[in-house]
Amino acid sequence: MDMQKTLSYPDDVDLAKLHTDLEKVYQVSTYLDFPFTAGEVADYFLPSLNISGQQLQELLATQKFADIPFEISGRYLLIHDSQSLSERTQREKMSAAKLNSAENFATTLAKGVPFIRTIAVTGSVAYGSAEKWDDIDLFIVTKQRRLWLSAFMMLVYVRLAKLFHLRPLHLSLFCLSYVHDELGFATEASRNMHSPLFAREILKAKPVAGKSNYRKLLLENNWVKEIYTKPYREKLSEFDRNGINGISKRDRPWAAFEILLDWAEGLAFTFLSRYLCLRAYLTNLRLKSEGRNNRVFEPKMSRMSCVYTSNFYEWLHALWGQ
């Protein structure tokens, strides 16, 4: 009997595109030394092919892609014998510990910084692949025209957390790597509309404060559903099942001081953006001297945004042709 007809994957799967995309997945898995599950690959790396993780495993079992040396171990796709499932488990545990630390920290930030709208965790922690000394990357959206005042206050909290050893050092490596005000994020989302990489980052983010505002961002960018239909629906369903919390807008009492706050915001932007650029320059010198060029990042500062874009992210951007 022809094996092709006994399997459950769709007959119209574009095998050439699947081969190309699997080569990219193999490169990412090799680079991170982190095995993905077949479901993760199907949902987040092959969304346009509309196949499930089980169907992907069936396709791989046909040996149509034997030149891409994935090894199937249960639901995982390993890239070599030394890639360890126990190591993945350890990274997941470390990511969970860092996420829990971020939740506690975000609660403090949301109470102390009145202009924050939402806080989420991105990067390796959100993907469950964090190692002990990886940063905890924070994605933050603030009230419009209050980004830099908020950033100043947040940096003070980060410094105090480290100074007073409120938690172990490896759980205090908070990085304000992706901060926008409301207009800044709307502009960024519009600029990256229909980008699978940008959409994947939004969906994989783990909201830890202001979940109702994070859900609102998803609804306002429903183009993400066109790329990642299943993960998008699952994310919204997760909110429906578990409930969502918001951040009370405690900035309203400040309305009488809008002119003063606007002046303070401009002052914070002028000095803090220059300080962060200088610190980024010094940090990049250290990273280069340590041979960690993938960690080198470009700071992108404006009135509405404070974003660090790493060489690793740019590599992903180029790899997926975006």
The predicted-structure confidence for 50-85, as pLDDT tens digits, reads as follows 899 999 999 998 888 989 989 899 999 998 777 889
Residue 310: the pLDDT is 95
By C-alpha distance, which of 131, 122, 125 is closest to 87?
131
The tokens of 263 are what?
């002046």
Same domain flag for 199 and 315: yes
Residue 299: half-sphere exposure toward Cβ, Cα within 13 Å: 18
The answer on 193 and 95 residing in a single domain is yes
Task: Please provide the average confidence, as pLDDT, over all residues in the chain.
Answer: 90
- What pLDDT is attached to residue 2? 44
Last residue of a domain, one of 83, 102, 137: 83
Copy the structure tokens of residue 154. 């947040």
| Percentages of the chain per state (helix, strand, coil), in multiples of 5 | 60, 15, 25
- 305 contacts 177 by C-beta, under 8 angstroms: no
Are 35 and 104 part of one and the same domain?
no
Task: Reply yes or no on whether the pLDDT at 253 is more than 70.
Answer: no
Tell me what pLDDT residue 92 has: 96
Overall average pLDDT of the 248-266 stretch:
79
Measured distance CA(60)–CA(13) in Å, rounded: 13
Domain extent, residue 63, equals: 3-83
Query: Which residues does 172 contact at the CB level (< 8 Å), separation at least 6?
Result: 101, 158, 161, 162, 166
pLDDT tens, residue by residue, 124-141 = 999 999 999 999 999 999
pLDDT higher than 50, residue 196: yes
**Cβ atoms 228, 44 nearer than 8 A:** yes
Task: Based on the fold, state whether residues 154 and 56 are members of the same structural domain.
Answer: no
Cβ burial of 276 (10 Å; 0-12, 13-18, 19+) is: middle
Question: Which residue, 158, 153, 243, is CA-closest to 207?
Answer: 243
103 compared with 247, residue with greater pLDDT = 103
Q: Residue 10: pLDDT above 80?
A: no
pLDDT over 90 percentage in the chain: 76
One domain for residues 12 and 32: yes
β strands within the chain, DSSP E: 36-37, 71-73, 76-78, 116-122, 136-142, 174-181, 206-209, 297-301, 305-310
